[in-house]
Chain A
Amino acid sequence: MNYNMPDEKGYFGKHGGRFVPETLMPALIELEKNFRLYIEDETFNRELTYYLKQYVGRESPLYFAERLTEHCGGAKIYLKREDLNHTGAHKINNALAQVLLTKRMGKNKIVAETGAGQHGVATATAAALFGMECTIFMGEEDIKRQRLNVFRMGLLGAKVESVTSGSKVLKDAVNEALKYWVTNLSDTHYIMGSALGPHPYPEMVREFQSVIGKETKQQIYEQEGQLPDTIIACVGGGSNAIGMFHPFIEDEGIELIAVEAAGKGVETSEHAATLTKGQYGVLHGNAMYLLQDDAGQVHEVYSMSAGLDYPGIGPEHCHLKDMGRLKYDSATDDEAVQAFKTLSELEGIIPALESAHAIAHGLKLAPTMEKGSILVINLSGRGDKDVHQISELLEVN
């Protein structure tokens, strides 16, 4: 299979595109031009590689989880340790690269949205490193459940704007960040944290995150002399998943599984399982599957994990689903909490609640796979930020 997406208009099949107010169009055209220029530029790439190695701590290990493997009694389980990156998640890969791009575009201010706060912290970090002014929009509800990250962003010198419109979560933070960008175009770059939004964001974020999959490919060859049978990643907007999956898309024998947040169950109204339940629609600058009502109003979605609490999903995931290249499943809050505990107890690794959804699916799938087969799970972030939320939950129970 030859895979080359998106097309020149930013489409992945029928998904993607650029559905934004006219005011933003010249900025997006300019951004695309710069992205194409610098992604091929040797100096830019040398600088990016330098910071990814010396500052972020890449490459991140591909760790053979021996006790987890024994526990499951099937496939050999490898964990891609994005949790060990500086700031604790994969988000820094993209934030750092976009800040370097911002510098080259001659802008000195950054705006971004955040859900769980991981992208906000990563962006505030990269902005601090390069002395840029940084404004982060975050839903009021998310601020409550992720206080630690709000505090971290403040320490890093970022201004956190509480979003009180709509359902006061990630989708509303994206709305407000876009409005802020429209009003401050001349000196401000918008760092979208997920692989979605108007073209070129889905492609650009994928490129900056695909370091995950590229490293994994090389590491699994080194350790096993072959490619994995199955790769699992959690998806909200889908940036860690597309970064992991993209380098493997043409390797058709490898099963790629995206795990969505089922919240209280996909049969209830409280979930965020967009690939499972969404319908074609347009939000935040791109066409994608979307959780919405019959009248085209965007649903309030639910997951206990703030980073997966989003009603859409990146356009490339939608297209990979349409192609039949991507499988998708979901994990409930309860399954994620169980996986959170299991990984902590068996491996001494406390995963982010988001990543715990991927682990939860791995725990179900690995025992059904043949002994000696290989399962890679992207451990997209660490769980320090979630410890408070989990401790409250366990006390209540």
Chain B
Amino acid sequence: MSATLMEQRIESLLNEGKKLFIPYVMCGDGGFEKTGDLIRVLESAGASIIEIGIPFSDPIADGPTIQAAGQRALDDGVTLKKILSFLKTLPPRHDVPRIIMTYLNPIVQYGLDAFFKELNDAYVSGVIIPDLPLEEYDMISSYTRDNDIAIIPLVAPSTTPDRIERMTDKAKGFIYTVTVNGTTGARQGFAEELTNRLESIKSQTNLPVVAGFGISTKEHIDLLTQHCDGVVVGSRIVELANDGDYESIKALVGSL
């Protein structure tokens, strides 16, 4: 699915009055068969977009849960090459788009040209690259343009308004707002500053605004979706998947 099609899909969901639920999956954690099952469960349960995580040895934006999941996958010999082959065998159901979250080094080593060319065949519409800030987008922008792949930018609490504007110019799909200055992983609650900030970012861009990092409960989801277009749930899904607790996953996805 191209980035353009993903944008149309997002727009129609939002026009129906729905909010976006974007679960994160550490690809290959527990084996590809398990990842495949998990993706099917998420698609059926009503996920809007699925974020596919690529394991990396040095994940500086991730907390302990996702880092441990990535390490399990790496210990099992999971590579980007195997992940792309796997994704090509698994066409999405229910028109649920996929995006990839990866650190830069695995795709640099794979070859940027080859990586972005293969994303369409792997049914991937966009990329989130946590260690590629605005200043370095040029490194990939010709590839994302040529293959119609969305660059989904991360906006942090420390991000200034002028940076948000420059990111929005280059972004497609949606804006991923990081809830806290910190790493991924479950948290107790969120400061009031966050809801104000989400409103403020929404007023600065025409793209949908999604919140992520530390969102783990129905209460978090209910609160934040009052102020933005959707949520990413990562560590909590990874944890439940590792426990094999698919019922709780379905309940969480279905809670929106």
Interface residues of A (CB under 8 A from B): 9, 17-27, 165-166, 171-172, 175, 178-179, 182-183, 185, 279-285, 290, 292, 294-298
Q: 13 interchain pairs (CB within 8 A)? A: A17-B136, A22-B159, A23-B181, A25-B133, A26-B158, A179-B63, A182-B61, A185-B158, A185-B181, A281-B108, A282-B131, A295-B81, A296-B109
Pick from B110, B136, B157, B183: contact of A296, CB under 8 Å: B110
In the bound complex, do residue B183 and residue A182 qualify as a contact, i.e. CB atoms below 8 Å apart?
yes
In the bound complex, do residue B60 and residue A297 qualify as a contact, i.e. CB atoms below 8 Å apart?
no
Interface residues of B (CB under 8 A from A): 56-61, 63-64, 67, 71, 74, 79-81, 103-110, 130-136, 153-160, 163, 178, 180-183
- Secondary structure class of chain A's binding surface, majority of residues: mixed
In the bound complex, do residue A23 and residue B104 qualify as a contact, i.e. CB atoms below 8 Å apart?
no
> Which residues of B have CB within 8 Å of A9?
135
CA–CA, A22 and B152, complex, Å: 12
Min CB distance B193 to A, Å, is 13
Q: Given A22-B156, A23-B157, is A296 in contact with B58 using a C-beta cutoff of 8 Å? A: no
> Which residues of B have CB within 8 Å of A295?
79-81, 106, 109-110
Given contacts A22-B178, A25-B133, A25-B134, 4 further A-B contacts (CB under 8 A): A19-B104, A21-B131, A22-B130, A178-B60
Q: How many A-B residue pairs have CB under 8 A?
A: 120
Min CB distance A177 to B, Å, is 10
Pick from B57, B104, B180: contact of A297, CB under 8 Å: B57
> Which residues of A have CB within 8 Å of B157?
23
CA–CA, A179 and B130, complex, Å: 13
CA–CA, A21 and B183, complex, Å: 10
Min CB distance B106 to A, Å, is 4
CA–CA, A185 and B178, complex, Å: 15
Min CB distance B232 to A, Å, is 15
> Which residues of A have CB within 8 Å of B64?
165
Min CB distance A69 to B, Å, is 44
In the bound complex, do residue B154 and residue A297 qualify as a contact, i.e. CB atoms below 8 Å apart?
no
Min CB distance B12 to A, Å, is 29
In the bound complex, do residue A292 and residue B181 qualify as a contact, i.e. CB atoms below 8 Å apart?
no
> Which residues of A have CB within 8 Å of B81?
295
CA–CA, A20 and B134, complex, Å: 10
CA–CA, A9 and B139, complex, Å: 13
Q: Given A21-B130, A185-B158, A292-B109, is A166 in contact with B58 using a C-beta cutoff of 8 Å? A: yes
> Which residues of B have CB within 8 Å of A27?
158
In the bound complex, do residue A297 and residue B135 qualify as a contact, i.e. CB atoms below 8 Å apart?
no
Min CB distance B41 to A, Å, is 27
In the bound complex, do residue A21 and residue B109 qualify as a contact, i.e. CB atoms below 8 Å apart?
no
> Which residues of A have CB within 8 Å of B109?
279, 281, 292, 294-296
In the bound complex, do residue B178 and residue A23 qualify as a contact, i.e. CB atoms below 8 Å apart?
yes
In the bound complex, do residue B105 and residue A26 qualify as a contact, i.e. CB atoms below 8 Å apart?
no
CA–CA, A282 and B106, complex, Å: 9
CA–CA, A70 and B61, complex, Å: 54
Pick from A22, A26, A179: contact of B60, CB under 8 Å: A179
In the bound complex, do residue B104 and residue A183 qualify as a contact, i.e. CB atoms below 8 Å apart?
no
CA–CA, A280 and B131, complex, Å: 16
In the bound complex, do residue B108 and residue A282 qualify as a contact, i.e. CB atoms below 8 Å apart?
yes
CA–CA, A263 and B86, complex, Å: 38
Pick from A25, A165, A296: contact of B106, CB under 8 Å: A296
* Residue among A20, A171, A285, A297 with most chain B CB within 10 A: A297
CA–CA, A285 and B130, complex, Å: 11
CA–CA, A225 and B71, complex, Å: 57
> Which residues of B have CB within 8 Å of A165?
64, 67
Q: Given A23-B157, A292-B109, is A284 in contact with B135 using a C-beta cutoff of 8 Å? A: no
CA–CA, A23 and B176, complex, Å: 12
* Residue among A282, A284, A295 with most chain B CB within 10 A: A295
> Which residues of A have CB within 8 Å of B135?
9, 17-18, 25
Min CB distance B155 to A, Å, is 7
Min CB distance A285 to B, Å, is 7
CA–CA, A41 and B19, complex, Å: 53
